[in-house]
Structure 1
Amino acid sequence: MSDAKFNVGYRILKYYFWHRYLFKKQVEKAKKNPSYQKLNSMLKEFEEEKPLLQQQYLENCIFTIFDLETTGFFPEIGDEIVSIGAIKMQGEQILEKKTFYEVINPLQTVSAETKKFTGLKRADFIKAKTLPVGLKEFLDFCKGTILVAHPASFDINFLQKRIGKWGLPSFDPEFIDSYALAKELLNEQECYLDDLVKKFQIAKRTRHHALNDAIMTAEIFQELIKLCKANKIETIKELHEVAGTGA
């Protein structure tokens, strides 16, 4: 058995025999806090505004381009969010002063490997916010906008799974997967963040820092919006049709 398979198997056992029970107790405690109740109410608003956002023209849209850094790839077995970074765009214009960055203190101890990967240190987590508080602030920041992530299939899914683990209402925002969109517009298979940073000659920032990755994604999305306009793709609905993501 490879080390990778052993580690995943070990983590699954650890989660089901220990962490999920500990996590359940911690969530029950968190439900008594006002921040949890506020987040509960806010999540319901995103689904309500979705139909209106889908009808907008690209040039009038306000986008929130965001990135998550996490402890791993498997929210179902306890991986958690450790930071959220975001920047806004209006149409194809990046709003450089409209940024968001928050370190999230997970319920489990953060591994040395995750700290090294993200550049986060113990001191960052000591002063960090809990997920209900940090996520509430992030949703305040992006309310009324269309979310964009690269790939959204990871970031949106991770948010949805972790929100579900906290016993909160489902999270169903309007979002765009810039990775899927790039693959269709460019007709290329290699459309990961580093590939497109190189292709569009975007200034490279330190990777796996949530805000840095969000800014680079915004600069990529800016180029994709220009390509959309050149191809007469003018609405969010049409963009979804091209990306094959469905509105």
Structure 2
Amino acid sequence: MSDAKFNVGYRIIKYYFWQRYLFNKQVEKEKKNPSYQKLSTMLKEFEEEKPLLQRQQLENCTFTIFDLETTGFFPEIGDEIVSIGAVKMQGDKILKHMTYYEVINPLQTVSAETKKFTGLKRADFLKGKTLPVGLKEFLDFCKGTILVAHPASFDINFLQKRIGKWGLPSFDPEFIDSYTLAKELLNEQDCYLDDLVHRFEIMKRSRHHALNDAIMTAEIFQELLKVCKEREVETIKDLHEVNGIVI
């Protein structure tokens, strides 16, 4: 068995025989806080906004481009969010003064590998917010906008899975996967963040910092919207159709 498979297997056993019980006890305590109840109410509002957002012209849309940093790739077995970064766009204009960044203090100990990968230190986590508080602030920031992530298949899924673990209502926002969009518009397979930063000659910022990655994603999305305009992709519905999504 490879080291990677052994590590995942060990983490699954550790989670189901120990960590999930501790996590559930901690969640029960958090449920008594007002921030948890406010977040629960807010999550329900995002699904209600979708029909209106889907009819908008791209040039009139407000987007929230965001990125998560996490302790790993498997929210189902205990990986958590450690930071959220976001920047807004109005049409194809990046609103650099409208940003959100917060460190999230996870319920479990952060590994040395995650600290090294993200550049976050113990002191950062001690000053960070709990997920219900940080997530409520993030949703306040992006309410009424269309979420964009690169790839959204990871970030949106991770949010949904962790929200479920907290016993909160489901999260079903209107969103765009800029990774999938880039593959369809550019007809290329190598459309990861670093690939497109190089392709579009975007200034490379320090990676795996949630706000830095969100800003670079916004600059990539800005270039993709230019391609959309050239191809007369004018509405959110049109853009979804490019991505192979029928709404």
Structure-2-length-normalised TM-score: 0.99
Q: Distance in 2 between matches of 1:51 and 1:158?
A: 23
SS at match of 2:169: coil
Return the offset for 1:244. 1.6
Q: Distance in 1 between matches of 2:21 and 2:219?
A: 42
Q: What is residue 29 of structure 1 aligned with on the other side?
A: 29
Q: What is residue 134 of structure 1 aligned with on the other side?
A: 134
Q: What is residue 187 of structure 1 aligned with on the other side?
A: 187
Amino acid at match of 1:66: F
Return the offset for 1:173. 0.1
The runs of at least 4 aligned residues of structure 1 exceeding 4 Å deviation read none
8 Å Cα contact 1:180-1:245 kept in structure 2: no
8 Å Cα contact 1:46-1:173 kept in structure 2: yes
Q: Distance in 1 between matches of 2:244 and 2:95?
A: 27
Return the offset for 1:243. 1.2
Q: What is residue 104 of structure 2 aligned with on the other side?
A: 104
Q: What is residue 92 of structure 2 aligned with on the other side?
A: 92
Amino acid at match of 1:167: G
Q: Distance in 2 between matches of 1:129 and 1:105?
A: 5
Q: Tell me, which stretches of 5 or more residues in structure 2 are unaligned?
A: none
8 Å Cα contact 1:20-1:78 kept in structure 2: yes
Q: What is residue 174 of structure 2 aligned with on the other side?
A: 174
Q: What is residue 122 of structure 1 aligned with on the other side?
A: 122
Are residues 1:57 and 2:39 paired?
no
Q: Distance in 1 between matches of 2:85 and 2:7?
A: 28
Q: Distance in 2 between matches of 1:168 and 1:46?
A: 13
C-alpha deviations, 1:201-222, integer Å up to 9, x for none?
0000000000000000000000
Q: What is residue 156 of structure 2 aligned with on the other side?
A: 156
8 Å Cα contact 1:85-1:210 kept in structure 2: yes
SS at match of 2:94: strand
Task: Work out the percentage of aligned pairs sharing the same amino acid.
Answer: 85
Q: Distance in 2 between matches of 1:141 and 1:89?
A: 12
8 Å Cα contact 1:104-1:125 kept in structure 2: yes
Amino acid at match of 1:163: I
Return the offset for 1:83. 0.2
Q: Distance in 2 between matches of 1:175 and 1:72?
A: 22
Q: Distance in 2 between matches of 1:38 and 1:144?
A: 17
**Counterpart mapping for 1:60-79 below 5 A:** 60-79=60-79
Return the offset for 1:246. 3.8
Amino acid at match of 1:159: L
8 Å Cα contact 1:105-1:128 kept in structure 2: yes
8 Å Cα contact 1:180-1:244 kept in structure 2: no
Q: Distance in 2 between matches of 1:175 and 1:2?
A: 36
SS at match of 2:190: coil
Q: What is residue 225 of structure 1 aligned with on the other side?
A: 225
Are residues 1:235 and 2:216 paired?
no
8 Å Cα contact 1:67-1:213 kept in structure 2: yes
8 Å Cα contact 1:105-1:130 kept in structure 2: yes
Q: What is residue 7 of structure 1 aligned with on the other side?
A: 7
Alignment length (residue pairs) = 247
